[in-house]
Structure 1
């Protein structure tokens, strides 16, 4: 047997990081990655991430600190209507950003509305991403008739402006629902409308990547070994197509929020009883020139901050994952 004492000793630096499967090891590897290096050298990405995190945390923690629930009619008082912001001479505590014509605290309404806009935007992106991934994989892998049908369907949708597709789907879906379910199902209708207008971009991206990957040697080997097509698509091809798709999803998150705001502004989105940012802007727009400027200005600022912060993160991610820019 070999005496352990005679084995050569390896002296590691004091700050050496050993490979580890634990959380500390993963964090250490992440901090040494090119993506983290790119992030820490990009002030716009850092600013966008901080603003986005602040807006999301403020929106979802709103019930803990805002003065009222703007969706509860029992907490609204018409005697508190049209109060200006707190720094105005007629301002009143605790209405920091004033109130609207129904006595609804604007800060509460904006944060609750932001929560709805964020949830609808995230849900629509996630659903359209799932549909686009599935259709793109099938079209790129099988080709032929499947590819023709799915891509021609996508071409038809792309030939119509996205907002018109969303308006058409939203209007038809709302009319199909019973009158007593239209307000309850408004969020689901918006998610469906945005999804049907947005899945095509993901499908075309995945289809192009899949068409390239299926010609590689490892896919040919998997076919020779009689590996099921489902496993080849989802376990071998799909991971190699996710990078551009996730970049597109990040950028489209901001676009989905804007689409929801546009539909709500046009009156076919969230109802006044459950206002999103778009609904608040629509309700406040009628009073813009009557002196109650804060009813529309503050929701516009919140929507702008939300979309700009998402776009800053998306732009950084697009550049960081682009191999041509490395």
Structure 2
């Protein structure tokens, strides 16, 4: 009896969807077969930037295992080792590969420890901005009316003020309110709060716009008819459909947060010299740039540039992949 061609086609599609063992493919296999992975392995700039970023992060967080000293521990510093040039220049000596600063701190050690502070502050600022911005954007878009107008106008006011001015104001208020003993301990938290205060608005605007579109769709209307609570509709149904543009914005904002922290520390209102971030190291080294101690400032600048550029390249690639209009 001849086979029905339509039946044969349906069986072949089913065979392609379900493996021979009858189990669904693993998440790893689905990821490796996705457009995101295909685009990544065919984009040399994305691979290189990801490799550079991964190397910087791994080197920063494993630094205590191999660096010659802890630059934050005064007991490990010696003025006898101050102002040593890099090891390939006359006067350079091991184990100070990139030389030392005026306090005898190993430049490589300070760069790796400083990178760790900058990365942690950047991640914390982006995470807090996401938490506040996504929550307020969902509420504004779903509620509408006066609540939406008030939240968005407040966000517009914050956007009209430069981030540096907001950070200076927050830092000045925090320094005046905190006891002197807590000033250095709370410096990182003050930086995170200052960066968050101006960065949450972009996430709120993105999520609010997406929520205004999603709340008019049939599945949301059906959920309302079934008396599903508003918070469940927002966080279980609408939120997952707004995360793609938020993820792209967060990736790009991570590099901006690191740059903002470095700028504030360079201006002297960020991390203290006893716990230097990359911005603090650049500020301290800038005073000796024209006295021949170029390595104190050049190497932190290179590290900061590599970190920010790699993050921005990854963010641009992610935006191109996840935006269907750019395909």
| TM-score (normalised: structure 1) | 0.93
Kept in 2: contact 1:20–1:26 (CA 8 A): no
Match of 1:184 in 2: 185
Aligned-partner Cα distance in 1 for 2:234–2:224: 11
How many Å apart are 1:174 and its aligned residue?
A: 2.1
Q: Which moved more, 1:54-63 or 1:160-169?
A: 160-169
Aligned-partner Cα distance in 2 for 1:276–1:19: 53
Match of 1:202 in 2: 203
Match of 1:224 in 2: 225
Match of 2:41 in 1: 40
Aligned-partner Cα distance in 2 for 1:258–1:104: 24
SS of equivalent residue, structure 1 residue 94: coil
Q: How many aligned residue pairs are there?
A: 314
Structure 2 counterparts to residues 107-118 of structure 1, below 5 A? 107-118=108-119
- Residue segments in structure 2 that go unaligned for 5+ positions in a row: 1-10
Aligned-partner Cα distance in 1 for 2:202–2:326: 23
How many Å apart are 1:161 and its aligned residue?
A: 1.4
The 1:308–1:19 alpha-carbon spacing in structure 2 relative to 1, beyond 3 Å, is farther
The 1:224–1:167 alpha-carbon spacing in structure 2 relative to 1, beyond 3 Å, is same
Match of 2:137 in 1: 136
How many Å apart are 1:316 and its aligned residue?
A: 0.5
Match of 1:173 in 2: 174
Match of 1:318 in 2: 319
Aligned-partner Cα distance in 2 for 1:27–1:248: 25
How big is each residue's C-alpha offset from its partner over 1:190-209, in whole Å with a ceiling of 9 and x where there is no partner? 00000001000000000000
1:297 aligns with 2:298: yes
Aligned-partner Cα distance in 1 for 2:242–2:287: 47
The 1:224–1:265 alpha-carbon spacing in structure 2 relative to 1, beyond 3 Å, is same
1:271 aligns with 2:272: yes
- Residue segments in structure 1 that go unaligned for 5+ positions in a row: 1-8
Match of 1:121 in 2: 122
Aligned-partner Cα distance in 2 for 1:176–1:316: 43
Root-mean-square deviation (CA), in Å? 1.7
Structure 2 counterparts to residues 130-169 of structure 1, below 5 A? 130-169=131-170
1:286 aligns with 2:287: yes
Match of 2:88 in 1: 87
Aligned-partner Cα distance in 2 for 1:258–1:291: 26
| TM-score (normalised: structure 2) | 0.93
